[in-house]
Structure 1
Amino acid sequence: MKCFKHGAIKRGAIAALLATVALPALAADLMIGRAAEPSSIDPQFSRTGNNQGTAQLMFGRLIEQDANLQISPGLATEWNAVDDTTWEIKLREGVKFHDGSALTADDVIYSLERTDEVPNSPAPFSDMVSSIDTMEKVDDLTIRIKTKEPAPAFIEDIGRVFIISKAASEGKSSEDFNTGTATVGTGPYKFVSFKPGESLTIEAFDGYWGAQPEFKDVEVRFISNDAARVAALLSGSVDLIDAVPPADVARLEEQEGINVVSAASGRVIYLGLSQRFDQAPGVFDLDGKPLAENPFRDPRVRKAISLMIDRQLVVDRILGGAGVPAGQLVPAVLGGYAEDLKPDEVDVAKAKELLTEAGYPDGFALKLYSSNNRFPGDGDLVQALGQMLTRGGLKVQGVEALPYNVYSKAASAGDYGAFVFSLGSSTPTSAPNLSSLIQTYDKEAGTGAFNRVRFSSKAFDDALAVALQEFDAQKRDELLAEATRIAFAETPIVPLYWQKVFWGARKGITIDGGLSEYTLAQDVKRVD
C-alpha cells in the first residue's frame, strides 16, 4: 500500500484618469481591482484561471496548493493507494458548508460526477475526472475510488475539482450560482452578490475550517482597462490591483504609499495555429480569398512561424524584461521540464525556406486575434507579432484584440485560425498542461480540454500515457520531458514566453503572490 499522509501609461494619462474615473468610496474592508472577471460563479463551469481564482475564494478542494503549487491537505487529510487502481480518501472532520451543513462523502462524489456534466462549459474539467471508473461511499468521511488504469497523479487531478454542496446545487444551473441560490461552498469566504461586468462581494465565513482571512468584507471590482485600474489604485478607490502593466511598475514604485509585489509565473503565453478545420478561419490567399487548404496542418508552416518571432525582443519591449522566452509549456522550476528544449531563435531565411517547401513561396495572408485584458501586454503583443510575421514573409491583414470573456468563448469554439492564448500551471509538473493543451482532443475520454488548435500526435499521446502511469516521481518527470520533446518536434503550438506578474497595493497591505497568479483575498495580509 502506498500511503500519502500530511497532517504603459504616461503621468498625464494617469492624472486625467484620476479626474474622470468615477468609483465609489471604499466601503468594504478590502477593495480589489481585478483585470478579468469570471464567466460564471459556478466553480465547475470553466477551468480558466480567472474562474478558478474566483472559485477558490468560496469553495474548497480535496487538496490545497500554496502560491507555488505545492500541495497540502484540504478537504481530504489522507489518501491511500490501496493498489495501482484503487484509492481510499479520508475527509477532514468537522468541515461545514456556508449554510451550516456538514461536508460528507456524498458531496464529494456528487461534485466529481457533476464536474463532467456542466452544460456549455467552454473549458471543462473533464480530464481531471476521466480516469475514474467507480466511486463508493465507505462511510460519511471515507470514499473509495477505482480508476480505469494506474493513475499515480490521480489525487492531484481530482484535487483540482471544487467541492460543492449536493443539497444546495443538485438540479441547479450555472446561473443559479451567479445569483447565489446554489453558491454554498466550504471556502474562507461566502457569497454575498455578483454583478456581471461590475463586481463580486464576499464575506468571511466564521465557520471556515482553516485559518481565518484577515479581511472580513471584500469587494472585487472588475476593471479591465489597465489605465483605469492603475488610476483606481492611485486614487484610493481600491486597495489592491492585479495585472499591473510592466511599463507602469517603476512609476508605481516611485509613488508614496504604493507597494508593488512581483512573482514568477507558470503561465505560458503562446500563439495557437488552428489545425481544427480543412479551412482555417481568417487565413487567405494573396488575393484575399479563403485559403482552400489549412496551412497550419503542415508542421513546416508552424515551425516557420515560430522562427519569425523574436521572443527576447517581445520580452524586452512589451514586458520591460518581465518575462522569460519559452520553448515548451512549463518553466524549469516544474517537473517534466525538458532541459535541452530551447526557444527557437529568429531565423527569417529558414522560415521562408520552410514556407517554400510547404508550397507557400510567397506566403499567405492571415488575421491575428488576442484578448486585451487577460494578461499584461496582450493587446500590444498581438500587434508586435503581426509586424514580425510580416517581416517573415506573411501578409497580416489585421489584428483584433477583444475582452477576454468574449474572446475566450470564440477561441474555444474554433473561430480563429491564428490566435494568442495562455495557460497557467496548476500542479508541480507539466502533466496537466500537456494533457489539456496538446493531447488529442477526445470529449469522452476527457483529454485535450484546452486543445483549441486540435493538434494530434499518436506518438506523443502514447508517450504521455506511459508517463502518466509511472508511480516513481523522478522517472515520471523524465518521461514527461521525453513526451514534450516528441510533441515539440512538430511545433504543436508556438510558445512565446513565461510572464512575470505584478500586483499594486496601498501601503500597509501585501499579497502572497506566486506561480498560480491568483489574486485571492485570503492571501492579502496587513504589513507594517
Structure 2
Amino acid sequence: MTSVDANRRQRAAALRSATAVLRALFALCLSAACLVGHAQQLVIGRGSEPQSIDPHFTRAGPNQMTAMHVFDRLILTDENVRPIPGLAVSWEAEDELTWLIRLRAGVRFHDGRPFTADDVVYSLERAPRVPRSPASFAQSLSTLADIEVIDDLTLRLRTTQPSPQFIENIGTIYILSRAASEGAQSSDFNDPSVAVGTGPFRFVSWQPGDRLTLVRNDDYWGEISDFETVVMRFITTDAARVASLRSGSVDIIDLVSPADLPRLRSMSDINVFQVGSLRLVYLALNQREEMIRFTTADGRPLGENPLRDARVRRALSLLIDRRGLTDYILQGAGEPATQIVPAGVFGHAQSIPETRVDRDRAHALLAEAGYPDGFGVTVHGSGNRFVLDSEITQAIGQLLARGGIRVNRVEVRPYAAYTPKAAAGEYPIFLFSYGNTSGESSRGLSGLFHSYDAQRDLGTLNRSRYSNPAFDEVIDAALQTFDDTERERLLWRAAEIAFHEDTALIPLYFESAVWAARTGLEVLPRRDIRTLAMSVRIAR
C-alpha cells in the first residue's frame, strides 16, 4: 500500500467518523432542548382557551393560567398550592380586623412604570366590578372594608369581620397598572398597551381560536424563563394535540387523555409528567325555582323543578358509578370524590362515606319525593375544558337513564360558549369543575354553597342556587375563626351538610393532571392543573 493510499483511507475514516458525530448531533438537535434552546421559543399545545385577556374577567382556570404569565398577585402559590410571597413580601394581622402588608421594592410594570401601593388599591377596587363576569372575584374581596396607603410600599387593610383567610383571598387578585388600564373594558385588554402587568412575560397578541403570543420580561423580579418567546396554541381535541406533539409543531401539551398515555410513555423522544390534582369534577343540580326544563317520564312538561327536593338529588347521586368513571373512562387518571377536597387537605371530613351505586334506594327516594316513574331532563357538559369531559357527560347520561331517569338529550358545547349559560342558570343538570387554588376547603365551600347574595358577594360560584341557612351559619363561623382546630371542625360540619345531608351537588372525582413534552424539556407538574411556561425548563 502506498503512502498516498494510506492517507486517503485515513481521510475517509476521519470523514466517516465526523459524519457519525454530525448525525448524532443532528439527532440531538431534533430534541426540544436543542430546537427550543436555539430558537429560544416554547410552543405549548393547550386544550382550553381563555375568554378574555382581562385577568379580572373570570376566575375560570383557562383565564387564570393565561393571566399568571402576564400579571402578578400579592400572594403566589407553588406547585403544591402552598402560598408564597409575590408582590407582597410580608403580611401580619395587627388585630382580628386589621392587616399590614409590605410590598416588594424595585418592581416595574412592563411599560417601565414603577409598581406602587396605588396599583394595588386600584386592582382591589376594580376586580369585583368587572361587568358580565361569569365567575367574579367579588367573593375574594367581600370582607374588605377599607384600604389605607401608608407609603408606596406599605398598606393597611381593614375587614368588616374577622377573616383568617383574608390574605389568601385577596392574594387571588391580579395586580394591574392603574396608568395603563384605568377606564378600560375587558375587550380593551387585547391591546398590549392595556394588558400591562409585572409578570414573567409580556403580552404580545391573542388570536382567538388559534394562538396567544408572549415575550419574556427580562426585567422580571423573580426567576427568568429559559424562553424568549412563548406561543400557546389552542388545540381542543386530544388527538390533534398528540399529533402536534409527535410532529414537533408543539413542544408540550396538557390535558393528555388516559387513552394516549401508554403510547406516549413508550416513545423515547417524549416524556410524561403526572400529578394528583385538587380539581373536583362535579355534577351541578340546578335548584332555582324558575328552572322548569323538566318533563314527566312520558315526555310531557313537568312544570316544576324536582331538584329542589334533597331526596331527588340524593337519588341521582346513588345512580352515578364514580369508580366506573375513573377506572374505565379515565383509566385510573382520577380518584372518586366525596367532597370539595381530597383526603389529606385541610377541611377534608373523614365522616363523609363514599357513595356507592344503589338503584333500589334511589328508586325508593324518587317515589318518596313524588316521582315513582322518574322524570325527564337534558344533561349538559363542556367539550374541551378538562380531560374527556365530553365522554364523562355522555356516561352520566347513560348512568341516569339506566337508573330510570328519562334523559331527553345529552348536549355538549365548547367551554367558551358553555360557561356563560351555566353561570346564568340555563342548564338543569350540568358538568362543571372547581379548581382549588388555596390548599384548603373554606373558599370552595363558601363559593359553591353559600346562599347567593350579590350585595354581599357571597356564593359567587353557586350556579345551582342551593341554599340552606344552617350551612350558611356554619361556614360564616368558619370563615371568622382564627383557631385552626376549631375552624377545621366547622369546615367538617359544613361539608357534612352540603355533601352528605343535602347533596347540594354530586361530587364525581378529582382529576389527575398529565402533561407530555418532547425530550429535553422538564415540566414541574402543578396540583392546580395550571399549564405555565414558568413550569417548563430546558433540561440541564
Of 426, 442, 453, the match for 2:464: 453
Say whether the 8 Å CA contact 1:279–1:290 is kept in structure 2.
no
Of 218, 221, 245, the match for 2:230: 218
Deviation at 1:195, TM superposition (A): 0.8
Deviation at 1:343, TM superposition (A): 2.5
Deviation at 1:138, TM superposition (A): 0.9
Task: State yes or no: 1:508 paired with 2:520.
Answer: yes
Question: What is the distance in 2 between the residues matched to 1:369 and 1:329?
Answer: 21
Question: What is the distance in 2 between the residues matched to 1:261 and 1:433?
Answer: 27
Moved more, 339-348 or 453-462: 339-348
Question: What is the distance in 2 between the residues matched to 1:178 and 1:336?
Answer: 39
Of 120, 141, 165, the match for 2:132: 120
Question: What is the distance in 1 between the residues matched to 2:505 and 2:40?
Answer: 43
Instruction: Specify the alignment match of 2:296 in structure 1.
Output: 285
Instruction: Specify the alignment match of 1:527 in structure 2.
Output: 539
Deviations 1:136-182 (A, max 9, x none): 11111111111000011100000010000001000111111123231
Moved more, 455-464 or 384-393: 384-393
Question: What is the distance in 1 between the residues matched to 2:490 and 2:291?
Answer: 35
Task: State yes or no: 1:434 paired with 2:445.
Answer: yes
Aligned partner of 1:354: which letter? L
- Secondary structure of 1:263's aligned partner: strand
Deviations 1:202-238 (A, max 9, x none): 0110111101111111100000111111110011100
Change in Cα spacing, 1:234 to 1:471, as seen in structure 2 (3 Å) is: same
Instruction: Specify the alignment match of 1:150 in structure 2.
Output: 162
Of 183, 197, 207, the match for 1:185: 197
Moved more, 53-62 or 386-395: 386-395
Question: What is the distance in 1 between the residues matched to 2:306 and 2:265?
Answer: 46
- Secondary structure of 1:454's aligned partner: coil
Deviations 1:107-141 (A, max 9, x none): 00000000011011111001100101111111111
How high is the sequence identity, in percent, across the aligned residues? Answer: 49
Aligned partner of 2:156: which letter? R
Aligned partner of 1:127: which letter? Q
Of 451, 458, 466, the match for 2:477: 466
- Secondary structure of 1:180's aligned partner: coil
Task: State yes or no: 1:141 paired with 2:136.
Answer: no
Instruction: Specify the alignment match of 1:476 in structure 2.
Output: 487
Say whether the 8 Å CA contact 2:274–2:513 is kept in structure 1.
yes
Deviation at 1:342, TM superposition (A): 2.4
Question: What is the distance in 1 between the residues matched to 2:277 and 2:243?
Answer: 25
Instruction: Specify the alignment match of 1:294 in structure 2.
Output: 305
Instruction: Specify the alignment match of 1:357 in structure 2.
Output: 368
Task: State yes or no: 1:104 paired with 2:93.
Answer: no
- Secondary structure of 1:60's aligned partner: coil
Aligned partner of 1:327: which letter? T
Say whether the 8 Å CA contact 1:280–1:416 is kept in structure 2.
no
Q: Which runs of 4+ in 1 moved over 2 A?
A: 25-28, 277-281, 286-290
For structure 1, the 5+ residue unaligned runs are: 1-24
Deviation at 1:243, TM superposition (A): 0.1
Of 251, 256, 263, the match for 1:244: 256
Instruction: Specify the alignment match of 2:88 in structure 1.
Output: 76
Change in Cα spacing, 1:522 to 1:512, as seen in structure 2 (3 Å) is: same
Instruction: Specify the alignment match of 2:329 in structure 1.
Output: 318
Instruction: Specify the alignment match of 2:391 in structure 1.
Output: 380
Change in Cα spacing, 1:354 to 1:521, as seen in structure 2 (3 Å) is: same
Alignment of 1:154-169 (within 5 A): 154-169=166-181
Instruction: Specify the alignment match of 2:143 in structure 1.
Output: 131
Question: What is the distance in 2 between the residues matched to 1:265 and 1:277?
Answer: 34
Say whether the 8 Å CA contact 2:297–2:405 is kept in structure 1.
no
Deviation at 1:278, TM superposition (A): 3.0
Deviations 1:448-491 (A, max 9, x none): 11111100111011100111111122332222111111222100
Deviation at 1:279, TM superposition (A): 3.3
Instruction: Specify the alignment match of 1:10 in structure 2.
Output: none
Deviation at 1:514, TM superposition (A): 2.1
Deviation at 1:288, TM superposition (A): 2.2
Say whether the 8 Å CA contact 1:300–1:355 is kept in structure 2.
yes
- Secondary structure of 1:471's aligned partner: coil
Question: What is the distance in 2 between the residues matched to 1:501 and 1:327?
Answer: 19
Question: What is the distance in 1 between the residues matched to 2:48 and 2:302?
Answer: 35
Instruction: Specify the alignment match of 2:405 in structure 1.
Output: 394
TM-score after normalising by structure 1: 0.94
Say whether the 8 Å CA contact 1:271–1:496 is kept in structure 2.
yes
Question: What is the distance in 1 between the residues matched to 2:307 and 2:375?
Answer: 11
Aligned partner of 1:499: which letter? E
Moved more, 294-303 or 208-217: 208-217
- Secondary structure of 1:284's aligned partner: coil
Alignment of 1:266-285 (within 5 A): 266-281=278-293, 283-285=294-296
Question: What is the distance in 1 between the residues matched to 2:308 and 2:329?
Answer: 30
Say whether the 8 Å CA contact 1:274–1:280 is kept in structure 2.
no
Of 240, 248, 251, the match for 1:228: 240
Task: State yes or no: 1:264 paired with 2:276.
Answer: yes
Question: What is the distance in 2 between the residues matched to 1:275 and 1:83?
Answer: 40
Deviations 1:407-462 (A, max 9, x none): 11111111100101111101021011111111111112111111111001110111
Going by fraction, where is helix more abundant, 1 or 2? 2
Say whether the 8 Å CA contact 1:326–1:342 is kept in structure 2.
no
- Secondary structure of 1:203's aligned partner: strand
For structure 2, the 5+ residue unaligned runs are: 1-34
Which structure: larger Rg?
Answer: 2
- Secondary structure of 1:445's aligned partner: coil
Instruction: Specify the alignment match of 1:328 in structure 2.
Output: 339
Task: State yes or no: 1:53 paired with 2:59.
Answer: no
Say whether the 8 Å CA contact 1:44–1:162 is kept in structure 2.
yes
Aligned partner of 2:388: which letter? G
Of 74, 78, 86, the match for 1:62: 74
Say whether the 8 Å CA contact 1:179–1:194 is kept in structure 2.
no
Question: What is the distance in 1 between the residues matched to 2:446 and 2:40?
Answer: 41
Instruction: Specify the alignment match of 1:339 in structure 2.
Output: 350
Question: What is the distance in 1 between the residues matched to 2:153 and 2:192?
Answer: 27
Question: What is the distance in 2 between the residues matched to 1:375 and 1:390?
Answer: 24
- Secondary structure of 1:271's aligned partner: strand
Question: What is the distance in 2 between the residues matched to 1:339 and 1:375?
Answer: 27
Question: What is the distance in 2 between the residues matched to 1:162 and 1:352?
Answer: 48
- Secondary structure of 1:289's aligned partner: coil
